[in-house]
Every structure is written in C-alpha cells, then in structure tokens.
Amino acid sequence: MVFNVANSVASQGMDGADALAATPLVKVDENAGVSIAGKSGVAIMINERILNLSSAELVTYLKSLRSENIEKIEVITTPPAKYEAQGNSGLINIVLKKNQNLGWNGSFTTGFQQQTYSGFSNSATLNYQNEKLRSSLKLRQSKYQKHSFENYRITGTEGLKSHDDRTDFGDGLGANLSIDYQLNGKSNIGFIYDYGRGHSNMDIENTSDYFQNDNYTNTLSTYAEHRGRSTQQTISAYYDVKFGKQDNKLSITGNYFSNLPKTTIDFTTKESSGNQFVVKSPSVVDYKIYSGQADLILPYQFAKTEAGIKFTNFDNNSSIFYQNLDNGNYITDVLKSNEFEYNEKNYAAYFSLEKSFNEKWSAKAGLRYEYSVVNGNSLTSGQQSESSYGKFFPTAYVSYKSDENNTFSLNYSKRINRPGFRAINPYRWYINVNSYFTGNPFLQPSINHNFEFSHVYKGKLSTTLYFQRTLDGFGQLASLSGESRTSTFFNFYNQNSLGATLNYSDTFFKRWETNYSADVSYTDMTVFTTDASSKKGYSYDFDFQNNLSLNNGKTIQLILNYWLRLPSNSGNLRWDFVGNLTTGVKMNLMDKKLQINVIVSDIFKQSRSKGEIFYTTGSHYFNNYYDARRLTVSATYTFGNKKVKGTNRNVNFDEKNRAN
C-alpha cells in the first residue's frame, strides 16, 4: 500500500514520525515503536535501506526528518525474499524526494513536552549536494521524565498483590552522518555513521503483599534505584554499480553495530517482621553485530531477477552480579550472579523472480534459505547450550488489476521469529529479594506462515483478509512459589489468527482529509508444556484521523484523531478497553519556513494497559499506566535551498533490532 505524502495536506508541516503516524494502517508509539495493523512490529526503511534503532531512538530519528522531504510511504505487510526472514513484522519504506538543485539546506526543530513532568527535545539537519556528492548530518538530543504505575495481582492457592510507583527519567544524544559519492554514471559509494548515547533511569517504590489460601502472610516493601547508561554505534558502507545493457545492479554492503549498556540496581527490601536486605546489582552487557551482504538485480525481459547472499555474526557477553550488604561490605552471592557468553552465526541466500504478464496480471516468487549456528555458555553455572538449524522461507505474490478502480492481490510468506538476546540470557534482573526476571538459553525460534488477500478500490478503500499460523510461539510467563515470583520465556503455544483490515482515505471539500481504519481478528491458541491456559477470542481495533484546513493557503490546520481497542482477547490474555483522543493545531508561517505544532494526546487518560492473563493455576491481573497524557509544543525552522533534500540512504541491517 502506497501513501502519497507529497499529495496529502494533512501530512505537511510535520516531522517524519507524525507523517508516519498519519499513514493508513500504521501506529507510532514512543515506547513500543512502530507497528502495522495485524502485525506485532515493523522495520523501517529509508529509500529501501533498513534504519536500525531501538524504539525510542527510532522515533527520535524520524522526528529529525521533515514531511516536505518525503515523497511517499510504502507499507509492505508481507516482505519478499530479499529481506531477512526474522520476525512477524512487515516493512515500511519511506521514499524521499530526489535531490533537484545544488547547494545547502537544513532545519532546526525544538519541542517541549509536558506530562506529569516536563521534557524537551531538539534536532538539527544540514544537507549539502554538488554534482557528485550528497551528504547529510543529523543531530538529536532529548531529555524526559515521567511518572508511571504498575499493578499486578495473582490469584490462586498462592496469591500476590504488587504495586509499583515509578518515575522514569533520562536523556539522550545522537548524531547521524550520511555520505554518498557518485564515482561515475554507473556506480556510487556510501558511508553511514550513527552514534547515540544516553541514560535510562528509574526510581521504583514497590509493595508486595503475599497470601496463602487467601490468608495474608507477609509484606515486602522495596525501594529501588535503576541507573543505566548506554553507548551505541553503527557503521555501514556500501558500493552500488550498474553494468550491462539491461542496467544490471550489484550492491555490496557491510555493517558493524555495538551497544554497551551498563546498569546498576540498588534496592532495599523490608519485611513486615522488620528484617531488612540491602542489595547492589551491577551489570554490563556487550553487544556486537557485524554483517556483510551482496545483492544482484538482473532486469531480464522475461522477468526481473534478484539474488543475494548474507552473513551475520552476533556476540553478546554479559555479566550481572548480586551483592548483599553485610557489615558494611558488599558480598557477591555466586548463586544469584551470572556471566554469560552468546554467539550466533547466520548464513543466508535468496533468489526471486518478478514478472508482469500484461497490464492486468503480475506475480513475484522467491525462496530464501537461512542456516544458524547458536552457542550459549554460562561461565558461572557451567550451563552450555548449542544448536544449529537451517530452514527455507518461500514467498509468493499474485496481483490482478481488473480495471482502473479495482486491484486484487494474494500473498504468502513464511517467516521466523528468533528471540532477542535478553530472552535467552539466563542472568536475573531482581525486583526484590524474592522476585526476578530471567532469560531461557534453551528458547527456540518460532515459525510463522502468513496469507493475505487484498482488494483496493479507487486507491481509497482497501480491504485485507489475513491468516497467520504460528508454531512454537514463545513469550514471557510468570509463576509464584511461596514468596518467590519468577518470570521467564518459554516456547509454549501454537496459534491460528484470522482477521480483516479495512482502510478508507479521502478528502472532502478540498479541506477535510480523513483516514479511517478498522482491524478485527480471531485467535485460537493451543498451549503445551506450561501452566498457561489455552484461549480463543476476538480483537477489535479502530482508528479515526481527521485534518481540517481553515483556509485555502493551508496556513492553519486542526487535527482530531481517536484510536481505540475494544475489550479483546489475544492468546492467553484479555485486554480491557483502551483509547487515545488527540487534538491540536498546526500552523505554517513565514512562507512555510516556520512550522508550529501544538498537540494534546490521551486527553481522557484512556490508554491504560489493563487486563487478565490466564493460567490453569489461577489468573494474573495487570493495570498499568505510563503517563501517556501530554501536551507537546514544537517549532521547526527551515533554511537554505528548499529543493535540496539531502542523503538518507540506510543499509539493510535488520538483525540489529534484536539487541535493543
């Protein structure tokens, strides 16, 4: 699905994150990142090259783009064989306008955000182009603080009532340098460097009441200070060359990524009896990922052919220590500490064919093979795990354009969802002396089969029916034994999902732009080897976006957006109602050189995460709120030659997301 940003009045005078949020079927959340209706997540591409950042860094980076620089946004719900088979997510390709003139241009954006506490962000972009060189420098900075609470309750023979009162605060700095140089009319080279560092902190007051057969037994009161800092670096280089009479294209790319988060958790736990425990838990995690790939495009007359190979190496070395304060000294508890080494090597190759048979029929088919070798070693416990597996991932697409108004398509893809590093690392993150989160080194990837049938009418109304089969699905499950609460990951279910997505976009009276979408799905989960409960049920999501221009010059625009999810079931979870009403005004001043936005989000504080998790031993209830109601005021000033758009080519580095 293609959303023409350049033709949308509603998408002008805003940053890239807001333009993406205005795209049909796409939702942007500063905490959860970007998602597509019916998909659990999504990867972002700029001009067909993957942009790899954590959820928070991704949104910050998108805010450094300007909607005036974006030509269109392509939503790819079933990615072809060229892209990594990792994840059930789709792809979003942001296509930037081509450079037109030589010279300089840039922009500066500053924003203020008021939640319970205030925060701010700034970004600056500077672009330069001559006949052969295209370059772009982006700087970003942010500081935030917000108040949240989490409530968790476990019922059954053994019971728990837990309440967290939490303050999150932190800051971040980042820079992105992109350089593309045209060697000649057939080839070019490029270099991208992205650097980010910041702090992520939390102060948490937790109260945990324990019960046996509904009889109160004990209370643990914990005050914890989480202090974390991280440094991320990404280096990418590419070489593109066209050759032959058919303009065959070869692309060679190399990537390197490192992330070094360091965290210290200091907490003090008091029992109702008066006993007190003082603990320090320092940790260091060292992620390193490097990859190399080659992609070949052969546009033969009978069919467009694509082929490629890729190698990726993951390294994750981590150390976490649990230290008790004893007579003024911190003594390491060896049984609760862990040092873990993890290595994963992925080898991949793919081949695909794309052909248009006539003006009405076109098709594409591809096959990707991936082979993985995984090694995990706990230096502390001596626990080792080793596995290897190879799998084929086919994709197939058929499109039929019956007339100018109607287009039909049928798609299939097989994908794999490999667990992130923290899901397989057996180190423990302690909440109090009895409760912790941990990974599972024996966790296996899950397999997803995706089918889609779509119809688009006049480019305004799209209808999609989809079916997904998940095998060996994994997730995080919690258990309570006495006063010991543990939460870890398991492969524990197979699931079928059947759904339909409708989206309608139109403009009325040349001033009122609308985009309305709905997603309804039915899931049937079958659980194995755990005490999670098998469930089936429906899920309902709706999104209504409205933009009204008050004058023909589009100087002032009003927005009114509302998305909601009705009480729904997903897997072994039941979600209560959640919604978000957003309104505001956008102003374009000084011949559109100055854009001012004033936005109020979650006006009625409806975006709570509330529901029930079903187990055979009882139910777990959660009720969380993450300070979503906020006022945002931002201003952007653009300068220089407006027709210079800068270089924003990013390379395909999908695997990096697993390290965040």
Q: Across all residues in the chain, what is the average pLDDT?
A: 86
Tell which residue, 191, 179, 236, has the closest CA to residue 647: 179
Predicted local confidence at residue 259, as pLDDT? 84
Please give the Cα distance from 350 to 309 (Å, whole number): 7
- 100-125: average pLDDT: 86
Q: Which residue has the tokens 């990524």?
A: 257
Lowest mean pLDDT among 69-73, 291-295, 560-564: 69-73
From start to end of 421-533, where are the E strands?
Answer: 428-432, 435-438, 446-457, 461-481, 484-508, 512-527
Structure tokens at 67: 């909607």
CA 553 to chain centre: 36
Contacts of 63 by beta carbon, 8 Å cutoff, 6+ apart: 15, 16, 17, 109, 111, 121, 123, 140
Q: Answer yes or no: is pLDDT of 645 > 50.
A: no
By C-alpha distance, which of 464, 457, 562 is closest to 519? 464
pTM of this structure: 0.84
Mean pLDDT to the nearest integer, 268-288: 91
Residue 342 DSSP SS3: strand
3-state per-residue secondary structure call for 128-151: EECCCEEEEEEEEEEEEEEEEEEE
HSE-CB for 538 with a 13 A CA cutoff: 7
Mean pLDDT within 473-502: 92
* pLDDT confidence bin for 316, thresholds 50/70/90: confident
Average pLDDT over residues 402-417: 93
Query: Predicted confidence band at 494 (pLDDT cuts at 50, 70, 90)?
Result: very high
Q: What percent of the chain has pLDDT over 70?
A: 89
Mean pLDDT is lowest, of 55-69, 355-369, 486-500, for 55-69
Residue that the structure tokens 């080839």 belong to: 187
CA distance linking residue 2 with residue 573, whole number of Å = 33
CA distances from 609 to 324, 353, 565, 606, 627 (A): 34, 44, 11, 9, 11
Q: Are the C-beta atoms of residues 109 and 126 closer than 8 Å to each other?
A: no
236: left (phi over 0), alpha (psi -120 to 50) or beta: beta
pLDDT tens digit sequence for 230-265: 898 889 999 999 998 888 999 999 999 888 888 899
The beta strand positions in 47-132, using DSSP E, are: 49-51, 70-76, 90-96, 103-114, 118-129
| CA distance to 35, 58, 626, per residue, from 32 (Å) | 8, 10, 12
Q: Is the pLDDT of residue 658 over 70?
A: no
Chain Cα centroid distance, residue 371: 25
The closest alpha carbon to 330, from 288, 267, 373, belongs to 267
pLDDT at 646 over 50: no
- As a whole number of angstroms, the distance between CA 385 and CA 366 comes to 33
Q: Where are the alpha helices (DSSP H) in 352-503?
A: 421-424
- By DSSP bridging, strand 304-320 and strand 338-356 are antiparallel
Lowest mean pLDDT: which of 193-207, 211-225, 227-241, 411-425?
Answer: 411-425
pLDDT (tens digit per residue) in 154-186? 998 899 999 999 999 999 898 989 899 999 989
Answer yes or no: is pLDDT of 644 > 50. Answer: no
* pLDDT of 52: 52
Structure tokens at 228: 């974390």
- pLDDT, residue 650, reads 45
Distance (Å, whole) CA 110 – CA 597: 11
Distance CA 239, CA 261 (A): 32
Kindly list the distances between the CA atom of residue 334 and the CA atoms of 66, 81, 126, in Å, as whole numbers in the listed order: 52, 46, 52
- In angstroms, how far is the first alpha carbon of the chain from the final one? 28
Q: 264: how many CB neighbours lie within 10 A of its CB?
A: 15
Q: 601 — phi, psi (to 5°)?
A: -110, 150
What does the alpha-carbon distance between residue 148 and residue 161 come to, in Å, rounded to a whole number? 17
